[in-house]
Structure 1
Amino acid sequence: MKVLMFGWEFPPHISGGLGTACYGLTKGLAQLKDVEVTFVVPKAWGDEDRSNINLLGADQIPVVHQQIQFDNARSKVEYYELQSGLIPYLGTSEFDELKSEISSGEKQLIELTPEGKFVFSGDYGQNLFQEIANYTLIAGKLAREIDFDVIHVHDWMCFQAGMAVKRVSGKPLVVHVHSTEFDRSGSSVNPAICAIEKEGLDAADKIITVSNLTRSVVIEKYNIIPEKVITVYNAVEPVRSGDAKTSREYTNDKVVSFLGRITMQKGPEYFVEAASLVLQKMRNVRFVMAGKGDLLNEMKQKVSALDISSYFHFPGFVGESEIAELFQASDVFVMPSVSEPFGIVTLEAMQAGVPVVISKQSGVSEVVQNAIKVDYWDIQAMADAIYTLLINQEYGIRLGEKGKKEADKLIWKNVASEVNRTYLKLLEVKPKHN
C-alpha cells in the first residue's frame, strides 16, 4: 500500500492539533506491514525532531526526495517539502487582521526561477489563495512522478492538491477533516474557504472525520451523504515514564491550565469567567492561559477588568518541552471549547496524570470517560468542577490516575490500522495480518 499524503504542518511548528495528528498517524502507518507513505508538507524549518527521521527539504520543483525510517517501523515514509507561508488554522478574524497589515497597492506576481521552478513567498494574508494554487500545481506534477495507490489529504488547505492528484491519476481520494470553517469561525464563516471545503468533500471517495461531532457538521452543513463519512478518533503517542520534568515554574499555589489557540473556537472567555468564580472561594490558585491568537489581548483586558491579573499568567505559545512542564505543574486542565472537532491536548493532559474538565461540545468527550464534562457556556458548572478538584486532592489524584490509564490505550498505531482498512476497502484489497 503506497499512500500519497498531503498535510500542512509538522511539529514543532504547529498552530493546532493538525501537525500533531499528521505526525502521529504517519508514524502509526509506518509501523504497519506493507504500508509506505509519501507525506508532502509546505515547509521544513530545520528544527523538527530528527531523532527518528531523515528530513529532506525542497522549496522548488522538481522536488528531491528521500526515504525516512521511523524506529521500529517496517515501512518507510518519504517527505517532500515545499516552502510556503500559510497558516492552516487561520480563522476569519485572524485572516482579516493579517491582510490589513499588508499593502494592497502592489500587484502580486507568481515568481519563477530561471529554471522554471516556483518560489513561494512565505507570506501570510493576501497571498493565501495564490499559495494554495501554486501548491496544487506542484501536487499535480508530483502525481505524474510518484508511484502510489491512494491519496490522503488533511483539511482544506490541501483539498485542491488532492483533487488535482485525483484528476491526474484516477486514484481514490481520502479527505481527512480535523476542523471545518464552521468550527473555526462559527456563524462568521469565510465563504471562499467553505467553497473549497465543499468541493473537496464532494470529490472525496471517502471522508474521515475526527469525531461524530465533526461528522455531523460535514453531513449537515455541506450536504454530504452519511455513507461516505466515517469517524476515526485521534490518539496520542505513548509516553515513557520520566520523560517530563516535574516543575512548579509558575507558582507554589494550585495551578489550573488552559492550552490552545486563544480564539473564539477555544472558549477562552469562559475559562476566564470560571476562574473569576473560583477566586471568589479560594486565593491560593494561579491560572495559566498558554497559547496565542486573535483574542489574546482581549483576554488580558478581561482579566484586568475582573481585577484578577495577579492570579493569571500568559506565557504565549509554548513548545513541546514547555507543554510537558506545564502539565507537570498543573493540578487541573480545562478545555472549554465552543466547537472542538477533537482536542488532542486533552489526551496529552490525561497522559500526564492531570485531571481534566472539558466541554461537552468536543469530540474527545465522545471517547473519554474519566473527565468532568460541562457545557462550555455553563461557567458555574465549570468553576464548581475546578474548585472540587482543587480542594479534594484525593479525588483529583484518583481521576488523574484513571485518566492516564485511559489515554495510554488510545495510541496512533490503532488509528493507523483503522485508516489502512479504509484504504484497502477503497482498493478492494483484502487486508493482511499485521
Structure 2
Amino acid sequence: MFGWEYPPHILGGLGTASFGITEGLHAQGDMEITFCLPKPWGDEDKNAANIVAMNCVPVAWRDVNYDYLKERLGNVMSPEYYYELRDNIYADFNYMNLNDLGCVEFSGRYPENLHEEINNYSIVAGVVARRESYDIIHAHDWLTYPAGIHAKQVSGKPLCIHVHATDFDRSRGKVNPTVYSIEKDGMDNADCIMCVSELTRQTVIKEYHQDPRKVYTVHNAVYPLAQELQDIPRPNHNGKEKTVTFLGRITMQKGPEYFVEAATMVLHRTRNVRFCMAGSGDMMDQMIMLAANRGIADRFHFPGFMRGKQVYECLKASDVYVMPSVSEPFGISPLEAMQCGTPTIISKQSGCAEILTNCIKVDYWDIHALADAIYSICHNDSLFEYLQTEGKNEVDQITWEKVGLWIRTLYERTINKK
C-alpha cells in the first residue's frame, strides 16, 4: 500500500481514510499490509500495518556501519531491513540529491516541489517493490499512482488505485493538466479503481474515460471514538449563545464564503449565535475580510488548524456543524460531527450525502436554505435533539470493518481476473 499521510501526523482527510482502510483490512484477521509512507515520525500506530519509511530506503549503495545506522534510523526502520533493501537497488541513482545513507529526503507534506517528491517517491518504490512479497498493490490518491504503476511493472501484480479526490474537485473545474495526466495514467494502468463516492465514480468514468466495469464505489466510514474522546463533555447551551462550526481546509473546494454569507443572514435574525471557522488555507485572509465587511467580525472566530483531540473538543462544543462544500468527493468530518452528537448540515454536492439521512442537506450555493437550517437547529430544541440522537445512531453503523470487507471482495475479484 502506498500512501502520503498517516495518523497522528495528518494534514487532511487522506491520512484519516488511509488509517481507517488499513484498520478495516487488518480486522479481517488474515491480511498483511506493508504501508509505504514518505516520512514517518516513528510514533505511528503500527498495529494494522508494517510501515516503511521511504526516506530511509537506500537508492544508492553506501557502506554504512551498523551502530551508526541504528543511531541514524532511530525507531523508524531497523538496520537489518535497510541492508535488505540495499540489495534491491536496481540502477545508479547517485546523480540524485541523496543523504549519507544513500536515501532521498522527503518533507512528508505538500511542498512547492511536490511533483519532484512524487517522482522521487516512485523511484524509491522500485526498491521496496523488489524486496517485498505481496499479492496486490493499493495506491492512495494521485501522489502515489506513479509508485503504484512502478510496483506493478516490477512485480506483474494487479494494481488498485483509490481515488479520494480528483483535480476536478480541488480546482472547481480549472484542472491542472500535469495533475490530470498523472491521475489519468494511474487510472489507465489500474486493474481496479476504488472511488469514495458515486459522485467521484461518475467523474472518473466521464472525465477520465474509464471502463465502468473496473470502477467501484467504496464509501468512507469512521472508527469508534476512543474512550478519552467519549469522555469529552458536551457543554449545555440551553438558553445561552449557540455555536455554529465550519471545520476543514479554508479553500475554494470547501465553500467557506457560503458559510460566511449564511452566517450574515442568521445574524440579521438573531445575535445569540457565534460562528467558528476552524482550519487553515489559502482563503483564510479573504474570509476574515469578508466577515469584517459584512459587519459580523465580533460574532466570528478563526481558531486556526486543529488536530487530534482539539477537533473533537470543537465538535462537541458546537450546536451545529456545517460543511458547505462545492465539490466534496466524500467528506469524513460530518460523520465525526454526528458521532459527537452534533447536528449536521451538508451540501448535496458531497459524497457523504449519498449515505447519510439524519442530517440536513442543502445546495452549497443556496445560502437562504443554509441560513434557515442553521437558525432552525439553533432555535428548535426538538429538531436539535432528533438530529443529535438519530445522527449518532446512524453513524455508529458506518464502520471501517464493513469497508474493509468490501475492499477485500474487490481485491479477490481483481486477483482472480488477473
Equivalent position of 1:223 in the other structure: 209
Given the alignment, which residue of 231, 253, 258 partners 1:265? 253
- Unmatched runs of 5 consecutive residues or more in structure 1: 69-77, 79-108, 430-434
1:56-205 to 2 correspondences below 5 Å: 57=53, 59-62=55-58, 110-120=96-106, 125-205=111-191
Q: 2:372 is paired with a residue of what secondary structure?
A: helix
Question: Does structure 1 conserve the Cα–Cα contact (< 8 Å) formed by 2:33 and 2:50?
Answer: no
Question: Does structure 1 conserve the Cα–Cα contact (< 8 Å) formed by 2:37 and 2:54?
Answer: no
- Please state how far the C-alpha of 1:162 moved relative to its aligned partner: 0.2
- Please state how far the C-alpha of 1:319 moved relative to its aligned partner: 1.2
- Specify which structure has the higher proportion of helix: 2
- C-alpha distance in 1 between matches for 2:273 and 2:376: 13
Question: Does structure 1 conserve the Cα–Cα contact (< 8 Å) formed by 2:280 and 2:304?
Answer: yes
Question: Does structure 1 conserve the Cα–Cα contact (< 8 Å) formed by 2:244 and 2:322?
Answer: yes
Cα deviation digits, residues 284-325 of structure 1 (max 9, x gap): 110010000000000000000001001011011011111111
Q: 2:194 is paired with a residue of what secondary structure?
A: strand
Structure 2 letter corresponding to 1:175: I
- C-alpha distance in 2 between matches for 1:262 and 1:234: 22
- Please state how far the C-alpha of 1:416 moved relative to its aligned partner: 0.3
- Please state how far the C-alpha of 1:118 moved relative to its aligned partner: 2.5
- Please state how far the C-alpha of 1:26 moved relative to its aligned partner: 0.3
- C-alpha distance in 2 between matches for 1:125 and 1:320: 23
- The structure-2 alpha-carbon separation of the partners of 1:247 and 1:368, relative to structure 1 and needing over 3 Å to count, comes to closer
Aligned length: 387
| 1:306 matched to 2:294 | yes
| 1:238 matched to 2:224 | yes
| 1:351 matched to 2:332 | no
Q: 2:266 is paired with a residue of what secondary structure?
A: helix
- C-alpha distance in 1 between matches for 2:330 and 2:134: 29
- Please state how far the C-alpha of 1:134 moved relative to its aligned partner: 1.0
- Please state how far the C-alpha of 1:117 moved relative to its aligned partner: 2.8
- Please state how far the C-alpha of 1:250 moved relative to its aligned partner: 11
Question: Does structure 1 conserve the Cα–Cα contact (< 8 Å) formed by 2:121 and 2:147?
Answer: yes
Equivalent position of 1:422 in the other structure: 410
Equivalent position of 1:321 in the other structure: 309
| 1:288 matched to 2:276 | yes
Greater mean alpha carbon deviation, residues 118-127 or residues 133-142: 118-127
Cα deviation digits, residues 32-70 of structure 1 (max 9, x gap): 1321111111112345457988867562224989999xx
Greater mean alpha carbon deviation, residues 11-20 or residues 140-149: 11-20
Equivalent position of 1:20 in the other structure: 16
- C-alpha distance in 2 between matches for 1:309 and 1:374: 25
- Please state how far the C-alpha of 1:195 moved relative to its aligned partner: 0.5
Equivalent position of 2:87 in the other structure: none
- C-alpha distance in 2 between matches for 1:267 and 1:261: 10
Equivalent position of 1:86 in the other structure: none
- Please state how far the C-alpha of 1:115 moved relative to its aligned partner: 4.8
Please report the TM-score for the alignment, with normalisation by the length of structure 1. 0.84
Question: Does structure 1 conserve the Cα–Cα contact (< 8 Å) formed by 2:35 and 2:51?
Answer: no
Provide the identity percentage. 50
- The structure-2 alpha-carbon separation of the partners of 1:193 and 1:316, relative to structure 1 and needing over 3 Å to count, comes to same
Q: 1:59 is paired with a residue of what secondary structure?
A: helix
- The structure-2 alpha-carbon separation of the partners of 1:148 and 1:55, relative to structure 1 and needing over 3 Å to count, comes to closer
- C-alpha distance in 2 between matches for 1:329 and 1:115: 48
Structure 2 letter corresponding to 1:408: D
Question: Does structure 2 conserve the Cα–Cα contact (< 8 Å) formed by 1:292 and 1:317?
Answer: yes
- C-alpha distance in 1 between matches for 2:25 and 2:49: 14
Equivalent position of 1:72 in the other structure: none
Structure 1 letter corresponding to 2:137: I
| 1:372 matched to 2:368 | no
- The structure-2 alpha-carbon separation of the partners of 1:55 and 1:204, relative to structure 1 and needing over 3 Å to count, comes to closer
- C-alpha distance in 1 between matches for 2:47 and 2:273: 38
- The structure-2 alpha-carbon separation of the partners of 1:363 and 1:124, relative to structure 1 and needing over 3 Å to count, comes to closer
Equivalent position of 2:66 in the other structure: none
Equivalent position of 1:29 in the other structure: 25
| 1:276 matched to 2:272 | no
Equivalent position of 2:350 in the other structure: 362
Q: 1:257 is paired with a residue of what secondary structure?
A: strand
Question: Does structure 2 conserve the Cα–Cα contact (< 8 Å) formed by 1:7 and 1:154?
Answer: yes
Moved over 6 A (4+): 50-56, 63-68
RMSD: 2.7
Please report the TM-score for the alignment, with normalisation by the length of structure 2. 0.87
Structure 2 letter corresponding to 1:173: L
- The structure-2 alpha-carbon separation of the partners of 1:303 and 1:393, relative to structure 1 and needing over 3 Å to count, comes to same
- Unmatched runs of 5 consecutive residues or more in structure 2: 60-72, 82-94
